[in-house]
Amino acid sequence: MAKNLEISILFDFYGDMLTDKQRNMVEYYYNDDLSLAEIAENEGITRQGVRDSIKRAESQLLDMEDRLGLARRFNEMKSGFESIRNAANNIREYNGRYGRSRDIEECAVRILDISRHLCEL
Amino acid sequence: MAKNLEISILFDFYGDMLTDKQRNMVEYYYNDDLSLAEIAENEGITRQGVRDSIKRAESQLLDMEDRLGLARRFNEMKSGFESIRNAANNIREYNGRYGRSRDIEECAVRILDISRHLCEL
Angle, helix B47-68 to helix B36-43, in steps of 10 degrees: 110
Q: Which of B44, B108, B118 is nearest to B80 (CA)?
A: B118
Confidence of residue A5 (pLDDT cuts 50, 70, 90): low
Q: Which of B86, B98, B84, B105 is nearest to A102 (CA)?
A: B98
pLDDT in the model for residue A118:
86
CB B111 within 8 A of CB A87: yes
Q: Which residue of A has its CA nearest to B67?
A: A16
What contacts A21, CB < 8 A, 6 or more positions away? A53
Query: Rounded distance, CA B119 to CA B5, Å?
Result: 20
Element (DSSP H or E) covering residue B57: helix B47-68
Confidence of residue A121 (pLDDT cuts 50, 70, 90): confident
- Kindly report the pTM of this predicted structure: 0.79
- Topology of B5-68 in CATH? Arc Repressor Mutant, subunit A (1.10.10)
pLDDT in the model for residue B121:
72
Contacts of B77 in chain A (CB under 8 A): 77, 118, 121
Contacts of A23 in chain B (CB under 8 A): none
CB A80 within 8 A of CB B84: no
CB A90 within 8 A of CB B103: yes
What type of residue is B115? S
Chain B CB within 8 Å of residue A96 CB: no
* Tens digit of each residue's pLDDT (9 = 90 or more) over A15-68: 999 999 999 999 999 989 999 999 999 999 999 999 999 999 999 999 999 999
* Tens digit of each residue's pLDDT (9 = 90 or more) over A58-102: 999 999 999 999 889 888 888 899 999 999 999 999 999 877 899
Q: How many Å lie between the alpha carbon of B48 and the closest alpha carbon of chain A?
A: 29
* Tens digit of each residue's pLDDT (9 = 90 or more) over B3-30: 676 898 899 999 999 999 999 999 999 9
pLDDT at residue B102 is higher than 60: yes
